[in-house]
Structure formats: structure tokens, C-alpha cells
A and B are shown apart, each in its own frame.
Chain A
Amino acid sequence: MNKLLSATCLAACGSALALGLTVSSASANEWPTDDIRLVVPYAPGGTTDVLSRRVADLLQQELDANVVVENRPGAGSTVGTGRLARGGRGVDHTILMASPGHTIGAAIYPDLGYDPVEDFVFLQNMIDIPNVMVVPADSPYESVIEFVEAAKEENMTFSHSGVGSSIHMSGELFKTLTETNMTAVPFAGSGAALPALLGGDVDVSFENMPTVLSHIRSGDLRALAVTSAERSEYLPDVPTLSEVGEYNLDQFVTTAWFGLVAHSSFPEEAQSVMQDALAKVMEREEFLDFADQLGAEPGQVSGEQFKQFIADEVERWEGVAQQAGISQ
């Protein structure tokens, strides 16, 4: 009996530890003086989560402090982000892995309760993943131009992984810029969306590179274009959308970006310590290999440039959301 009770308590303690309620390991005066919390505003298992755990692991080695990942999922990342924005105890040791949900969320939820630009400091853009415009292998369209011309005549369907995802918004942006007839078909995540595309139930998708790369290489899907500013080294023969040069597509540059942000009251000393550490993390071979596996490019911007990028993104997605009628 007693044995069982203590076993139960032990299990409870163990799992509490696993969930991140670790005892703090305060050290010298310099920042960090406590464990660092890395908030992931999504459930365990997604790209944001996997990336964050990898970064936490490497950051820990650079900073000589515990970096504890904490998942705060909900409402397309706005729940976790909102909590950070409200501030409170420990925000000077809290960072958050932001992603397109940060800017798109601001565009589609009107009562966010926080400002996606001014309430945060922007530390470092970690990786950029381009989206790829893909059609099923037996699709009649060989190029973006052919596709757009057909989409002006008849209605096309595009699959996406959920309202407000970068995949969805890319589709809406394409539709707006090219002034074509396209219907969004929602799925619960890319995993569920992919069979519809492979099976030819939908005409096109603007999927994240890692999701479709192997299918493009095996010939089950045909890549018409990538959405990044430059061609991707993973698909060097596939043009960028801005290369197409017609139908306003020169304005179509978008990537799924992932970067670390913190509360606006994050101490300046902490910012510089953190940015130095992150710069070192990004040079590590483990990090570059990881980015490579995701089909991602290491992020380019940090600090004020990163902030400007976010501000531009928010403005752009607000426009797209309004035109697509998805702002509530």
C-alpha cells in the first residue's frame, strides 16, 4: 500500500518535472539568472514544436542555463502569444517561437488583446521555409501561366491545412493577385490535406516545402513554383512565383518563417546575450543539418529588421484576409 502510494507520488513528481516545472537553478548576477522558458504556442509535434525543442537543446549549451519548452496551444497560436503579451512574472526569462500564425492571427482575429508588433521585441528569425505551388502528377497544367489561364475560365479548388495557416493564406493571396476563381478546401492539418492532392480531389495547393518535397521527387506531385524570393536549392529547376512576371505575381513572395520573440519589457542585456547565443546556435552544424532536413533556409533578419518584417506581414495579411472575407 505505502509502496504504491509512494510510487504514485513518484510518478506524479516525475511527470511534473517532465512538464517543465523544474526547480530553478539560479546562478550569478548576469542574465540569465533563472531557467529560460521557451513558449511554443502550438501543440507538441508540429514544425514549431520540433524546431523549438531543437533550438532549446542547442541554446542550453550556448547559454549554460536550462531552456524549458512549454506548449501553450490554442486559436492559431494567439492564446500562447496573448499570454506572453500580457506580461507578468518571469517574462524577463521567457521567449516565444513565433511563426506565420503571429501575423496572420493578427489579421483574422479582431479582438486579439495585444499588438503583434509593439508588444514584443524581436530577437532572431531562425528559419524560413518556402511554400511550393504543387499540382497532382496527372494535372494538365505544366506552368503557372497555364494554370492561371485555366483558373480564369473555370473554378479551381485548393487544399489547405486550416483557416489562417500560411498554406491557406498563400492560396488566398494567389487568388487575389491573379483575380482567378478559386475555392479553398480546408483540412485538419497537412497530413489530412495531402491525400486529397495526391488523389486529385483538389487542383492545387501551396504546401510547405518539407511536406511535399519527397512527393515532388518521386513524381507524384508536380511543382509549378516556389513562393520564396529566390529559387530553393532543393528545387533548383522550379521558378519562383515572382519570376512568372505576369498577373501581379511579382508581388508574391512569402515564406513560413519561424523566429524567437520576447515581451516588450525584455531587458536589453538579455536581448544582446540572447542574440549572441542565437547567432552561435545558427552556426552550429546540428542546426544547419536540421534546417536542411526541413528544406528550410536559415533566417536572415533579427532585431529591428525582424520587427519591420513582421509589421509588413501584418499589413499584408490584413489586406488579404479582408479581400477573402475571412476577417471576423
Chain B
Amino acid sequence: MENFSEVVGIFFSLDNFLAIAVGVVIGVVVGSIPGLTATMAVALALPFTFSMQPVAAILLLVGIYKGGMYGGSITAILIRTPGSPASACTLLDGYPMAQQGHAKKALKAALYSSVIADFISNIALIFFAAYLAKIALNFGAPEFFWLICFSLTIIISLASGSMIKGLMAALLGILLSMVGLDEVFGSQRLTFGNYNLMDSISFIPLLIGLFAIPEIIEFYRKKAIPHIKAKANGAGLAFSELKRCMKSIVRGSLIGVIIGAIPGTGATAAAFISYSDARRRSPNRANFGKGEVEGVAAAEAGNNGVAGATLIPLLSLGIPGDVITAIILGAFMVHGLTPGPLMFQENLSLIYALFLGIMCSSVILLVVGNVAIKYFSLIADIPKSILFPIVLMFCVYGAYAVNNATFDVGLMLAFGVLGYIFNRTAIPAAPFLIGFILGPMFEDNLRRSLLIGSNDLSIFVRGPITWVFIVLTVGSIGLAIYRFAASRRGTRNSTDESHQT
């Protein structure tokens, strides 16, 4: 690189390192508090960046973003309250692990897979940005539609306990996701005239209610079983365990990178897709959902893989893929920089200085994360009779904080009751969430495709990307049916045998 020294000159300043470190710390702390999202923290930090140097300003915001992406997993694992939507998937295995006394192991697995995924995502950003941006541009509504179809087939693999219950939960999720304004006509659907529902059901109160509240209800229903303190923190993560998860982490990171590069899908979906992919392939399939360390690793790899990659469409096309990157775009503009193709010509040294900083953020995340685990894992030692009232307070506060609306607190409690019913009837919550997240994307892209193609159905098979996803979708359903049939044959055979004996 000819202007290497210039890049180094821009990057190596105390301000930049400080900006990343402060950003990551804020991100981890804010991300771990339910209801306070990285999005809010980035928005609140934005005015402070106005007076900073451009590189330091952007790195501060990127640091918060990355820290927040990881921070959400801490409370998800420890108190079954996802600090951010993207960590909802992490608690499926993380919380059972914490209950079994492996809190520290789960936290470490989440951290290491986050850092590895973050690193892979950064590499993708630096070396393949132009290429991935081109793919992203070829992703129109029909391509999106098939990607979502494929992702919906995940429900099948997440509902392996009972297919009927899984599908019921998924359909309920899709039904509830329809509440709000119709995207095409703007008319109200299922809002019952309540303006609080016009922007659809808010996701964070739903998450907090669905996961945290049932635990609290259960605790008081059983009238306080003495807290079994089986060395609550437990051991850390052994290298052999990390190695065992490595395949899932790398695959999850790549899933995150691709999802992140396409604007508009998001980290939550990436976490679930990565998780279900790992579950499908893992030899420990049966243990997923019951406290499998590979499940935690896959989920966190999926959502952190998104972090670096969402900067791809932002930097190379000037397109923000989510709200956070939209705010970062604002920060660029405040400093007189316009992300997009021209920035790579006009401000190349600045971009490379940014890249260096972003690479550094992975390392800083590792350090900050380790310190955070040391202190946060103490939460696992607090007796539940003291912990749960505090958690409840945070739940109420978190649900309120998102939109500053009391309505959301009520919504959170209502979903708490729903989550409790789910628990008692063994209806899995994961398919419900997938339905809620992907339902609107499915509908919107279906309708958008029909609008773009003037109701001509051939738009759904218009190019190689659609063909690939059609094959994957059909294959995924076929595989599920095959496995379902095989398992039924298996049970029938075993019952036959038991009859014979």
C-alpha cells in the first residue's frame, strides 16, 4: 500500500484506541441491560462524536455496536432475559447451562465465539466488501422471499420435540406479527383501534416477557426451592470444547457475514439460522436446547458475524442495513464523509485506518468480555429470592424504556403469561419467535415481488439466487420429512419389539 504511513498516522493515536475501548465497554454494559439496546446507546453517543476526529468518532460507535452485540448474551445466559433481541437465541442453551452450574462456561463460549465470528466478519469486510456488496445488490424482493422461505423451514428443525406444537407456536408468532399497519395500504390490522399497536407489537417487551417472566412466576409458584448452589460459576471453557464447537462457529460466522451483507435481515435472524444449522449437523443434536455449549457458540457466532458485515453495504454502497448502521451513516455525514463507492476513491487512507480500528475492536472485545464475565458471573451466585425481584424491576424498566410507553409494560406482562403457558404445556418458544421475526419479512417480500412483477409469478424464478434458495428450501423440507418418517419408523419398531418381548 503506497500510503501506508498515512494510514498508520491516522490510526495510531491514543484517541482512537480510547474510542474503541470506551465504545466496547459501553456496548457490553448497555447490551447486557434488558431494554437498553446498542441502538439506543449508539444514538445517545452520536452527539458526543460531533466534536471528535472522524475515525475516532466512527470507531466509538462501531465499538458500542460490537460490544452491544456480545453484551446481550450475558443476561440471556444468566437470568434468561435477553439484553438485546439478537441474543434471544443464545438463551435457548445458555440458560439451561447456567442452571446446571455451567454459567461461566456458557459465558466464555459466548465470548469466544463472538470474538471469532467478529474477526471473521471483519476479514470479510476488509477483503470481500466489493464482492459481497455486489451480491447484496442482486438480492431483490423475490430473492429475499426465497431466503425467508428457507429460513422458515428452520422451524421444523427447532420443533423436533413435537412437530404439531412447534407449528402451532410458529403460526401464533406469525399471527401476532401481523398486528400493526399494513405495509402496502397503510390500513390498520388487528390493532383494535389502539394507537400503541399501530407500529406492531414491540419486540423487546415481547422477548423479556416471553423468557424472563415465566421463570419468575415458576419460582414463586414453587414457593422458593432453596437455591441449589452446585458451584454456580463452574469451570471455564476447556480448549477441547471450543475445538469441538469450531465448525459450528465458523459456519455460523459465515452465515452471519452473508446475512449481514444483505441489508434488512438482521442479527436476530442470523443467530437462529446459525443455531438451527448447527443443530441439524451436530452429533450432539439431541442435547440442543437442554444446555449444549455448541448451541450457545453457534447462536453467538451467527449474531456477531453480522456486526462487521453490516458495514459492507454501508461503506461500499452507502446503504445502511439496520438502524445502527443508519446512525453510523449519520455520523459519517456529520464529519463531511459520504459512504459509498466514492469514499473508496476519495478517502481511502481513512477507510483503511477504520479497518485497522475495527480489527482492534475484536481484540478489545476479548479483553473487556473476559473482565465482564468475571464480575457478571457473580450474578449466578445471588440467591434467587433476592435476584428475581431485581430482575423483575429490570424487566419492567426495560419494557418501558424502549418506547417510553407504559403500554409496553402491560404487553411484557401479557407475554409473560403466554410464556408461562408455553412452559407448562411444553410448547417451544423458539418457533414462535422465528414466526414473529420472519413472518412480516415473508409477507412483505411476497407482496413486494408481486408489485414489482405486476402480478407475474415468473418473477419468483428469475435468476440463479432464487433457484439456489428454492432447491435449499425443498431439500430442507424433504430432509425433515425423511427424518420425521425415520424417527416414527424407529419408535414403531421399538414398540413392536417391546410387544414381542
> Chain A: residues with CB nearer than 8 A to chain B?
1, 4-5, 7-8, 11-12, 15, 18-19, 43-47, 49-50, 53-54, 56-57, 70-75, 78-79, 82, 108, 111, 155, 157, 162-164, 183-189, 191-192, 194-196, 198-199, 201-202, 210, 213-215, 217-218, 220, 286, 289-290, 293-294, 325-326, 328
Contacts and interface: CB of A to CB of B under 8 A. Distances in A.
A312 B487 CA distance: 68
B341 A195 contact: no
Interface stretch (B111-119, B122-130, B267-275, B319-327): B319-327
A192 B263 contact: yes
B493 interface: no
B47 interface: yes
Nearest to A75: B198
A5 B407 CA distance: 28
Interface string B117-142: 00000000000000000001111110
Contacts of B397: 12
Given A155-B454, A191-B319, A198-B137, A49 B43 contact: yes
Given A8-B390, A73-B403, A199 B137 contact: yes
Given A45-B324, A57-B47, A155-B454, A73 B264 contact: no
B486 interface: no
A74 B198 contact: yes
B289 interface: no
Contacts of A8: 390
Given A45-B330, A57-B50, A163-B181, A108 B341 contact: no
B404 A164 contact: no
B42 A45 contact: yes
A45 B39 contact: yes
Interface string B291-326: 000000000000000000000010001111111111
Given A18-B44, A191-B319, A195-B140, A183 B378 contact: no
Contacts of A75: 181, 195, 198-199
14 contacts: A1-B381, A4-B378, A44-B44, A45-B42, A53-B43, A53-B47, A70-B404, A79-B195, A155-B454, A163-B182, A185-B451, A194-B263, A201-B140, A210-B333
B323 A43 contact: yes
Contacts of A79: 195-196, 198-199
B455 to A, nearest CB: 10
Contacts of B454: 155, 183
B192 interface: no
Interface stretch (B102-110, B183-191, B245-253, B355-363): B183-191
B471 interface: no
Contact of A217 (B141, B181, B342): B342
Given A4-B375, A198-B137, 4 more contacts: A15-B36, A185-B452, A214-B338, A293-B336
A111 B330 CA distance: 34
A74 B196 contact: yes
Contacts of A82: 195
Contacts of A184: 184, 451
Nearest to B341: A218
Interface string B11-41: 0000000000000000001100100100110
B340 A215 contact: yes
B158 interface: no
Nearest to B43: A44
Given A50-B330, A191-B319, A186 B340 contact: no
Interface in B372-396: 375, 378-379, 381-382, 390, 393-394
A44 B444 contact: no
Nearest to B335: A293
Nearest to A53: B47
Contact of A201 (B141, B320, B321, B326): B141
Contacts of A195: 136-137, 139-140, 263, 313, 317, 319
Contact of B46 (A50, A196, A215): A50
A82 B195 CA distance: 10
Interface in B404-437: 404-405
A74 B136 contact: no
B404 A72 contact: yes
B339 interface: yes
B146 to A, nearest CB: 15
Contact of A214 (B181, B184, B340, B444): B340
A15 B72 CA distance: 16
B401 interface: yes
A199 B138 contact: yes
A54 B47 contact: yes
Contacts of A56: 47
Contacts of B195: 74-75, 78-79, 82
Nearest to B41: A18
A328 B36 contact: no
Contacts of A70: 404
A105 B273 CA distance: 37
Contacts of B401: 15, 19
Closest 8 CB pairs of A and B: A44-B43, A163-B186, A214-B340, A75-B198, A45-B327, A191-B320, A214-B338, A50-B330
A93 B139 CA distance: 47
Contacts of B42: 44-45
Interface in B424-472: 444, 448, 451-452, 454
B140 A196 contact: yes
Contacts of B340: 214-215, 218
A195 to B, nearest CB: 6
A72 B405 CA distance: 8
Nearest to A325: B185
A208 B390 CA distance: 45
Count chain A CB atoms within 10 A of each CB in B36, B46, B326 and give the residue with the most. Answer: B326
A299 to B, nearest CB: 19
B46 A53 contact: yes
Contacts of B178: none
B108 to A, nearest CB: 20
B331 to A, nearest CB: 9
Nearest to A57: B47
A210 B50 CA distance: 18
B350 interface: no
A78 B198 CA distance: 10
B72 to A, nearest CB: 15
A4 B379 CA distance: 8
B334 interface: yes
Given A11-B33, A71-B404, A74-B195, A213 B338 contact: yes
A283 B447 CA distance: 47
Nearest to A189: B326
Contacts of B30: 15
Interface in B172-228: 181-188, 193, 195-196, 198-199
B264 A191 contact: yes
B287 to A, nearest CB: 31
Contacts of B320: 191
A50 B320 CA distance: 15
Contacts of A73: 199, 403
